[in-house]
Structure 1
């Protein structure tokens, strides 16, 4: 069947929209880390991470209602709801806000880009998935380069720097675990349900803890910090969520997962400009090698292998037999 000009035009328009939205997610997630850095400049980390979610919650609730998705989790998933609220939204985002007090926004994004690596490890432990050779090689390269970067930044030998690094890596590990755990136990829960109420509850829990522990004087918070919180709540959390799940329905998960390789590049560049820091050649080289290593873990080796085998098998069967 011949493709009409109208069908071709619709295809290219759809592809262009998808490419633009993909770029928007990379840019949004890449700037999130700088937003957190600016927010915690004058607002304590518990309060800042909670305020972000309190701002995002009404927007997510409206989206959830418009999509006619249930707000509340099923009764038999209450334990999972608690785990998600505490160990996906509350604790990890506090750890990230805490860590960014001592670690640059660009390096924070590199540290958090290890999340898919933790998901590979937990997939092997919880889902009995085999870790492939390319994943072992990629993880080794990635974490080896990360150690070199941390050493060159002087963050391994200082108490506060090391604490910040460990907090951010712990956040990435928790996200990796909950990602795999949700695949195993909650794959049937609507994506809007999955995010809306946990975000709202996490926001109020974090703000409540902030009032008790940090006793923040919000009158001293800078205008830049408030603008950063609005950006994190409305654009990064609510807007980024909508666009990401729109793309998830229209793109290969493998291609979409490369966002975790792209957004650190955006974060490092924007963070360096804002913080007036020079990206050293050593940092650039090892950051690039680290992301290449993590990208290697995402290659669909089995799919490529099957395709090569099919091509090779077809060529062999098509080859005329030699007769004496």
Structure 2
């Protein structure tokens, strides 16, 4: 879909919906932290995906939207593997290894990863100003990765967070590619089912058998993560990605650290060193620079992955 007629950047309503989505995603890190001891991380991730996907499949079937268009199954499978299998696995494993705050920074570096590919595949403008913003944001990520001297950032935790970032970045590119052909409900439902089943298999293979503690906290957290943090936000994000530019829209996700840090500091009293806080500030500055509306930021009409 062409960006013509949508102005120089995401309109106020789209920006507001994007920020609401980011706020919910930020809360997900804290919810995972609160309930992670009730189930192994990969199993928890698989349950979240299936709690999101199975009800959506039922709704899709009731609306006659269960089957995607011919030729789109491979792309939906790719969306499930990147966005769900890799994204959720990295997210849950990183929170267990690092905490609730830092994964909010690293996992959402996907905004920086998306930009060059959005320019390459979809004709979005990657101006010198946006390049500068990306470099500033990347410098912030590098500072966070360097650690804070208190053992808050580990190589394993950072790797899990960046795995989530890479998966979500690739998933956003796939969303943009299929957005005009596949209904949002159909894509979101199958994304979680097709991505959740490999997660379940992965959990059964690598995690020791363990009973899930079905406490009120765990059940409430699982329902929030599955219904609100996955099904609802992913359906909304799918439409935002389909109708808007990837570069400024994905830049909004880097506000996740601001919300995640605030929630983590408030609830868990996690402490960050001055270098880590400086890295977060640099990342936020890069986001502001990249997402600032520009008149030249218009997607080339009709351009998609694999277009000739």
TM-score range, shorter chain: 0.7 to 0.9
Contact 1:142 1:291 (C-alpha < 8 Å) held by counterparts: yes
1:73-103 per-residue CA deviation (whole Å, 9 max, x = no partner) reads 2331222122122222112211221121112
The alpha carbon displacement at 1:240 in A equals 2.5
The alpha carbon displacement at 1:248 in A equals 7.3
2-side partners of 1:269 and 1:185: how far apart? 35
User: Quick check: 1:34 aligned with 2:34?
Assistant: no
Contact 1:18 1:247 (C-alpha < 8 Å) held by counterparts: yes
Give the corresponding residue for 1:283: 276
Give the corresponding residue for 2:51: 55
Contact 1:85 1:198 (C-alpha < 8 Å) held by counterparts: yes
User: Quick check: 1:75 aligned with 2:75?
Assistant: no
Give the corresponding residue for 2:224: 231
User: Quick check: 1:199 aligned with 2:195?
Assistant: no
Q: Structure 1's 198 and 17: CA in aligned 2 closer, same or farther, altered over 3 A?
A: closer
The alpha carbon displacement at 1:191 in A equals 1.1
1-side partners of 2:23 and 2:171: how far apart? 24
- The alignment partner of 2:96 has SS state of coil
Cα RMSD (Å): 3.4
2-side partners of 1:25 and 1:127: how far apart? 23
1:214-273 per-residue CA deviation (whole Å, 9 max, x = no partner) reads 143224565533332221012211233455567779999887556414332111111122
Contact 1:30 1:263 (C-alpha < 8 Å) held by counterparts: yes
Contact 2:85 2:198 (C-alpha < 8 Å) held by counterparts: yes
1-side partners of 2:125 and 2:22: how far apart? 29
Q: Structure 1's 185 and 277: CA in aligned 2 closer, same or farther, altered over 3 A?
A: closer
- The alignment partner of 1:104 has SS state of coil
Q: Structure 1's 182 and 255: CA in aligned 2 closer, same or farther, altered over 3 A?
A: closer
1:270-311 per-residue CA deviation (whole Å, 9 max, x = no partner) reads 11222222344543343122111122122233449xxxxxxx
Give the corresponding residue for 1:112: 107
1:134-154 per-residue CA deviation (whole Å, 9 max, x = no partner) reads 122111111112222232434
- The alignment partner of 1:141 has SS state of helix
Q: TM-score, normalised by structure 1?
A: 0.75
The alpha carbon displacement at 1:43 in A equals 1.5
The alpha carbon displacement at 1:207 in A equals 1.9
* Aligned mate of 2:148, from 148, 153, 174: 153
Give the corresponding residue for 1:87: 82
Give the corresponding residue for 2:203: 210
User: Quick check: 1:301 aligned with 2:301?
Assistant: no
2-side partners of 1:248 and 1:182: how far apart? 7
1-side partners of 2:106 and 2:250: how far apart? 16
Tell me which structure has the larger Cα radius of gyration: 1
- Structure 1's unaligned 5+ residue stretches are 1-14, 305-324
- The alignment partner of 1:301 has SS state of coil
Give the corresponding residue for 1:187: 180
2-side partners of 1:186 and 1:16: how far apart? 21
The structure carrying a bigger helix percent of its residues is 1
- Structure 2's unaligned 5+ residue stretches are 1-10, 298-308
